[in-house]
Amino acid sequence: MPELPEVETIARQLKKITIDSRVEKVQVKLNKIVRTGPRKLATLLKGACFKDVRRMGKQLVFEFDRDRFLVVHLKMTGQFLWSNGDAELPKHVHVVFLLNDGNRLLYRDMRQFGYFLGFSGPEFALWQNNLDIGPDPFQIKEKEFVNHLSTRKTRIKPLLLDQSFISGLGNIYVDEALYASGIHPLSQAGNIPASQARDLFKAIRRILREAIKLKGSTIQNYMDLESESGQYQNKHLVYHQQGKPCPTCGREIEKMVVGGRGTHTCPHCQKLFK
DNA sequence: GTCGATGTTATCAA
DNA sequence: TTTGATAACATCGA
């Protein structure tokens, strides 16, 4: 589900709401979600204080006192909910954090693709070292991005979705950025002229920044912590806009499949670099 | 009832 | 090296 803007939004809200509160107990309802093991997670986090929540690519990193870490990947439908008291749990809640202030932090995931990793400090460092994840669009420099693109033979859309190349982009924002910079998703990355690659880079940053400002895009069930929807979906110019007129040329937005993903384009405005 | 699609990604085969 | 198919799973809409 969530891409960089949604995960960034969630991280910021989680940080604000959880900072300095203490975990009394962790209840794991669905064991497979916790890949490092439910017992270990419970032991690790019992009595731990939230110190920081940040985003790495599309993943969330929770830092606790006493050198403990929790990494969460939301995949398609993972979400965090804030709940006070002991109201009945919503459907698909797989992990519950009982906090010292009486509140509960819930992890809900309809499709159960998301996962938790619980680490000690050294384990976390090891995990980070082995992590094959590229810089996100705010970390990499324009020059570097353009250089990297020019060396690749693969198609631009799957490349932008490849988290080891650049992290944080997903299907929505790739379609929007390619449209904004006039590049067809089937273009060979290495054949995109440098000037247009720079346009692409700028479009990616601009679109992500704007989406973060609007707390991301809500398509079906992504919601931020306050159970509010993001608003960026109202700004989508091509994503899920097939059949509607292109804002630039008025011709129909088309939908095709690229790398197994639904892909939305204006074939007239987006140039194919073979 | 059935089929295809859904914001992600790991894995395997061609 | 690159690609495509498949799988993990639940839900929705046609």
pLDDT attached to residue A193 = 96
Taking the stretch 103-122 of protein chain A, residues with Cβ within 7 Å of any atom in nucleic acid chain B are 113
pLDDT attached to residue A192 = 96
Distance A193 CA to C12 C1' (A): 42
User: A50 CB contacts (<8 Å, ≥6 apart)?
Assistant: A15, A18, A19, A20, A21, A22, A23, A62, A63, A64
- pLDDT mean values, one per 10 residues, chain A (274 residues): 90 93 97 96 97 97 98 95 86 95 93 96 95 95 95 95 96 96 96 96 96 82 66 88 94 94 95 94
Residue nearest to nucleotide C6 (CA to C1'): A260
Helix, strand, coil % (nearest 5) of chain A?
Answer: 30, 25, 40
Please indicate, yes or no, whether the overall pTM of this predicted structure exceeds 0.85: yes
Rounded to 10°, the helix A194-213/A171-180 angle is 130
Q: Is A58 a catalytic residue?
A: yes
Q: Is A254 a catalytic residue?
A: no
pLDDT attached to residue A86 = 81
User: A97 CB contacts (<8 Å, ≥6 apart)?
Assistant: A23, A25, A26, A27, A45, A104, A105, A106
Measured CA to CA, the distance from residue A193 to residue A111 in angstroms comes to 40
pLDDT in tens, A197-230: 999 999 999 999 999 999 888 776 665 666 667 8
Task: Fill in the DSSP letter of residue A233.
Answer: G
Measured CA to CA, the distance from residue A36 to residue A175 in angstroms comes to 34
Residue pair A62/A48 in contact (Cβ under 8 Å)? The answer is no
End-to-end CA distance of chain A: 31
pLDDT attached to residue A256 = 94
Rounded to 10°, the helix A194-213/A142-150 angle is 130
Task: Fill in the DSSP letter of residue A102.
Answer: S
